[in-house]
Structure 1
Amino acid sequence: MQGLPGPQLGDGRLPIFVFPSALTFYSDDQSSHKQVLTLYNPYDYALKFKVLSTTPKKYTVVDSEGTIRPQCCVDIVIRYLDIRINNEGVKDKFRIQMSEHGKKKILGSKDITSVLLPHREAVSQCDDDFKSLPKQMSLPAEGQSVAAKHGQVHTSASGPGFLVIFTAVACIIALMLPTHGELESKLPDYFHLSLQQKLIAAYILGLVTMVILKV
């Protein structure tokens, strides 16, 4: 991974789609020391990407350069190496540069902020409220049975739901469909999507992917 160049390069006009838009690491949570950036290419041509950083010695970026095929996405793994108190609260920056495959001209770029925080909030305000209830308080028998049913539903729904999987598959199919204006496609016109529709599908796919990974 190379250091971030000066502002003289400038940003291109090509919209760059990256998820998430910011990275947050936690000193006391080792599982957060590795983050994933997903880069999307909703266009009809291959894109070459490069990941730059203002502080490259703090991080390890797996596959910091590569190619994204048309209407596809790639995941980039970023590991925070220098976990220490002096780095907590310091904001770093990654820059994702995109160029057309086989060409050097920068078509666009997007900056992603990164910060290391001391600790992750493990207990929510709702948990605090429940803990403050008197111990002698209890639900009636009917309420307990309802709560047990809810508990069973929660347990059975621990994996990614059908709707989430269906949404992900639908977005992938949408990205694979031809774009308006493609003459080589043999599919009817109503199967041709606009670029805007594909951008929306790519964004939704990114959100759904993060939900599946967290389950």
Structure 2
Amino acid sequence: MLDTYELAVHTLTLRQLGTAEQLADINGLAVADVEAALEKAVSEGAVLAARGSFMITPAGRAFLDGVYPSAFAALRADDAVTEAMDAFETGVNKQILSLTTDWQTVEVDGDRVPNDHGDAGYDAKIVGKLGRVHEKTAKVLRPLSAADPLVERFLDRIGTALTRAEGGETDYVSGVRVDSVHTVWFQLHEHLLRLTGRERPE
């Protein structure tokens, strides 16, 4: 698996721009460890720093591309992982994308229009469905979460977003300025693709 330095740089492929604190929230490392790793990565040209935030460079991506095959060799050779990813892509990932569309839009006279979230019952129904998909996802990804604790961390963060959405904080379904279900799901998917060496489906 990835060491602290590699994981800190890797996290910038999941969140394109972030502070050390934001990256630590994703990867579970201590903020001080992330800061030290980023300082080293900046000095080596793998990461750029700007106004307290960081972003990965092409050199950083090339570095990770060289690390992944050996770091995740055992995981990529595991048939249970391959089956889990197939089930993820063809099942729960498509369900989440569909439910996000249903959350953002509603059907009126046969046309899809933006959801103004004036119908609390409609919104609650979508959040409930997202919760059930989240539960299913934990089962589907069990071979991956057993091999990589970061997968479980993503699932926990999605659960936290769902709890806030259930409490009426609607931004936590698909908002881009918070750790919403949609935002964290995108990060989870990107992480899974890098673990398994797959390309994001079109």
TM-score, normalised on structure 2? 0.31
**Higher strand proportion, which one?**
1
Name the structure where helix makes up a greater proportion of residues: 2
